[in-house]
Amino acid sequence: MAMPDAVTLVEVGPRDGFQFEQAVVPTLRKRAVIARLIAAGLKQIQVASFVHPEKVPQMADAEPLIRMLPRREGVIYTALVLNRRGLDRAMASGIAALEISLSASDSHSRKNAGMTHEEALDHGLRMIDQAVSAGLHVRASVQCAFGCVDEGQIPATRIAGIVRRFVDHGAHVLTLADTTGMGSPPLIESMLDAVLPLAGRLPLALHLHDTRGLGLVNLMAALNYGVSIFDTALAGMGGCPFVPGAAGNISTEDTAYLMECLGIHTGVDYRRVGEVSREMEAFFFKSFPGRMHRVTAFQPPHISN
């Protein structure tokens, strides 16, 4: 299969990235960051997760943030939900697109959602039914699709079975998440061989972490299969608290630069994303693992046409 001519980058930094940090980003600052990411060309942004505010205070402002988000034509905001309480909150918030996510790993599911894998699957399918019936756009994702630090490689048959259930219950987009960063090109290829025939015409996205330094290498393997939707995070922010040594997502600006080198359209200006990334490093008083935001710090300022 030929590489796609265009790729959609789904910015997850305001959710996956901010959620992983100890410091809480003020709501107005979150809005400003999101507005600047839109100005940099990003059209799909995951802005919040509806989780317990005491357990994840970084996401406690999900409802007020969603109410004040800038409305731009063609821009889609999404939020992550893990349980029925989160779904109820999300549906009341007015957001139009949700990601309903569950883990293929039993041990990770118990840590992340407080449920066994089978319980989480049953729970997740019921949530998909409810959200689809309410007219929401639903992206269904499989965490730990390429391995679990406790259980090792997850059988492709289990992943395929979950995806088949997602399709049967009316999900609009499917996602395979390399939560632990254990993916490799052979694993990416074998999983896509198993899943793409089940997806049919439904879009398939990948959520890649760079824990072992293979994030963009795995993206290249997926590109060769025609995958054209990838989650990214400004500066390579993010991670999973239940994965020792976890690194963040593939960097938005690194990915956009790679796509530009390949002649693949994203519509994203990596220089402008880099400006936001450097400001967030200053806010958090730390460096993030992405590269291009540091490179662009020494390039002439971006001038819009």
Does residue 2 lie in a domain region? no
With respect to residue 205, please indicate whether it lies within any of the assigned structural domains: yes
The one catalytic residue among 144, 148, 240, 261: 240
Instruction: Annotate 16-53 with b (16+ C-beta within 10 A) or e (fewer).
Output: bbbbbbeeebeeeebbebbebbbebebbbbbbbbbbee
- Please give the tally of structural domains in the chain: 1
Has residue 281 been placed in a domain? Answer: yes
Chain centroid offset of residue 284 CA: 21
Roughly how many angstroms between the first and final C-alpha of the chain, as a whole number? Answer: 35
Is 240 catalytic? The answer is yes
**Domain membership flag for residue 84:** yes
Query: Which CATH number fits the domain that encloses residue 183?
Result: 3.20.20.70
pLDDT at 226 (0 to 100): 97
Residue 304, pLDDT above cutoff 60:
no
CA 186/CA 217 separation, integer angstroms: 11
**Residue 145 is assigned to a structural domain of this protein:** yes
- As a whole number, mean pLDDT of residues 144-166 equals 94
Residue pLDDT, tens place only, 16-69: 999 999 999 999 999 999 999 999 999 999 999 999 999 899 999 999 999 999
Measure the CA dihedral 16/20/21/22, to 10°: 140
Q: What percent of the chain has pLDDT over 70?
A: 96
pLDDT tens figures, 264-281: 999 999 999 999 999 999
- Model pLDDT for residues 207-243, shown as the tens digit of each residue: 999 999 999 999 999 999 999 999 999 999 998 776 7
Is 105 inside a domain boundary? yes
Within 10 angstroms of residue 96's Cβ, the number of other Cβ atoms is 13
Residue-range definition of the domain harbouring residue 113: 8-298
Residue 304 lies in a domain: no
Q: Classify residue 303: in a domain, yes or no.
A: no
- Per-residue pLDDT for 301 more than 60? no
